[in-house]
A and B are shown apart, each in its own frame.
Chain A
Amino acid sequence: MKEITSRTITQWVKTLLLSGIFGMIGNIVGYQIMPWDSLPGILILIIIGIIGLFFSKIVGKSLPAFVHVSIVGILVSMPWCPISGFVMNWVGKVNLMAIVTPILAYAGLTVGRDWRSFTKIGWKAIFIGLLVIFGTFFWSALIAEVLLRIQGTI
């Protein structure tokens, strides 16, 4: 377990607020969702994020922080939770895609940094890499399809 200092928490709050601002502006620009509609939802997401990060520090590295945060998200929004109506009323208004745009923008930095190694990878590895992505997708879709049919869901 790592120590949780006030510095760490300030750090979380600041970076999450910045991400939230990005998300809010994305919601305005791309999806015409005004700040008075999206802001409460984004603040709720930030709070969920901080609680999740807190848990992940306490529990340790057996699961990624992303999973802890998602679990907190599930707990507060599932039908049996007393505040789920309130949470989903606001979080539902935040557009998912607008939150993801900044993630990929920052990922662009990583791609830029690794560009040289990417061009050095060679066509063989790129071909195989794409095949791996395809294979994962294919097997997962196939297994899901078979099980959903057996179950009669589809």
Chain B
Amino acid sequence: MKEDFKILKDWKLHFTILVCCMISDKIGTIIIPITPVIKVSLLPLLYAMVFVTILYLLKPITWIKEEQSEAGGIMLTMTCILLGAKLGCNVGSSLETVLTASLPLLVQNIGDAFTCVIALPIALMIGMKREAIGICYANSREPGIALIEQRYGKGAEFRGVVAMYVIGTALGTIAVGLMASIFAGSGLFHVYSVAMACGVGSAAMSTAGIGTLVELYPHMAESITAFASTSNLISSAIGVYLAVFIGLPLSEFLYKKCYPLFNKNEINLSNNQKEDK
């Protein structure tokens, strides 16, 4: 933390970020209709991420490279703090609306612990091994990585959770925005349920969901924001505990049950080896 004071001195970095943000905000939200009810919305936050990623990967841009990613990480946390304050205010000011749905809001967060039910068997089917545990036990953010590292060390499970984290950062916002418009447009789910689902994941993912839904259903803006913000707050508070008590044990259980189904030869082989000994 000694180097903290230097973060702000890197003005080239911050200025570039600012310019990327300004261009993104200027372009604004673009809505692409896929069908009459399902519309995909591209949000400024998405362009900003793409711009900076491209600049990072361009060789001539020497002032946005690995050296800056540490300062960028701290700024990422601090801009999130500002977002946390804003989301908190959204929840507080709509507290009466939120309280009418307090039970669904609390319980729907468990959804994250059941994602392995779909993903893990398929992962094993296409030939993954222990890394599947790290990928599938939850929609992991930073605390999830720490949890897997504590429990399994830096093995295959750790590689899995890091991969999941990277996928979530790079594709999570697009995916949640897209799913929000599809789920709400399908007519099977009420916009409120979709708003709550948007909250389960990182703050950036849920804002992408909020942005999409508010753009498509402006008359429900306040409730959408309140429900998604509350859900996100609950999920950042209890996410790790859900993983410890449900997500991980369930993933391990499924792994034990499903692994033999897709790896019969290997199991026979290892049984034979045991008999040989």
Question: Which chain A residues have a beta carbon within 8 Å of chain B's beta carbons?
Answer: 7, 11-12, 14-16, 18-20, 22-23, 25-26, 29-31, 42, 44-46, 48-49, 52-53, 63-67, 69-79, 81, 84, 87-88, 91-92, 94, 96-115, 117-118, 121, 124-145, 147-148, 151, 153-154
Asked whether, in the complex, the Cβ of A12 is within 8 Å of the Cβ of B78, the reply is yes
A87, A121, A132: the one contacting B139 at CB < 8 Å is A132
Asked whether, in the complex, the Cβ of A66 is within 8 Å of the Cβ of B81, the reply is yes
Report if B217 contacts A (CB, 8 A). Answer: no
Asked whether, in the complex, the Cβ of B85 is within 8 Å of the Cβ of A133, the reply is no
Q: Count residues of chain B with CB under 8 A from any CB of chain A.
A: 123
B74, B107, B207: the one contacting A15 at CB < 8 Å is B74
A131 to B25, CA, bound (A): 30
CB distance from B141 to the nearest CB of A (A): 9
Tell me which of B5, B18, B78, B192 has the highest count of chain A C-beta atoms within 10 A of its own C-beta. Answer: B78
Asked whether, in the complex, the Cβ of A22 is within 8 Å of the Cβ of B17, the reply is yes
A67 to B235, CA, bound (A): 10
Asked whether, in the complex, the Cβ of A73 is within 8 Å of the Cβ of B84, the reply is yes
Whether A65 contacts B111 in the complex (CB less than 8 A), given A79-B95, A128-B132, comes out as no
A44, A73, A102, A151: the one contacting B21 at CB < 8 Å is A102
Asked whether, in the complex, the Cβ of B170 is within 8 Å of the Cβ of A111, the reply is yes
Asked whether, in the complex, the Cβ of B114 is within 8 Å of the Cβ of A139, the reply is yes
Q: Across the interface, which residues of B come within 8 angstroms of A73, CB to CB?
A: 84-89, 91-92
Question: Which chain B residues have a beta carbon within 8 Å of chain A's beta carbons?
Answer: 4-5, 7-8, 14, 17-18, 20-22, 24-26, 28, 43-46, 48-53, 55-57, 64, 66, 68-69, 72-93, 95-96, 100-101, 103-105, 107-112, 114-119, 122-123, 126-128, 131-132, 135-136, 138-139, 143, 160, 162-164, 166-173, 175-176, 179, 183, 188-190, 192-194, 196-201, 203-204, 207, 210-211, 225, 229, 231, 233, 236-237
CB distance from A99 to the nearest CB of B (A): 5
